[in-house]
Amino acid sequence: MPFSEEKVTKALLDCCGGKARRPDGMTTVFLQGNWDIVSGDVMRMFAEFFSLGRFVAGVNATFIGLIPKKQMLKI
């Protein structure tokens, strides 16, 4: 995988935790507070994305918003 769990953890913890796209959306605060529980599943999902080139249908735009956007990102 082109990134480590440490980099994903840092990106997650650097996010503002109280925002969600919809009132029923999972907020970043949930992920930040429960990262020790959900990190394995999240990292497996990222590995699957990089292996297959697509997310599973249940992933919504709120979660995808965690991916940092940078110009000329080096992988």
How confident is the model over 19-39, as pLDDT tens digits?
655 555 677 888 888 899 989
Token pair of 65 as six digits: 């918003």
Residue 6 tokens, joined: 């440490």
In this prediction, residue 35 carries a pLDDT of 93
Greatest alpha-carbon span in the chain: 34
For residues 62 and 15, give the distance between their C-alpha atoms in angstroms, rounded to a whole number: 12
Query: What is the spatial distance between Cα 36 and Cα 34, in angstroms, rounded to a whole number?
Result: 6
pTM: 0.61
- Domain extents for the chain? 1-15+26-52
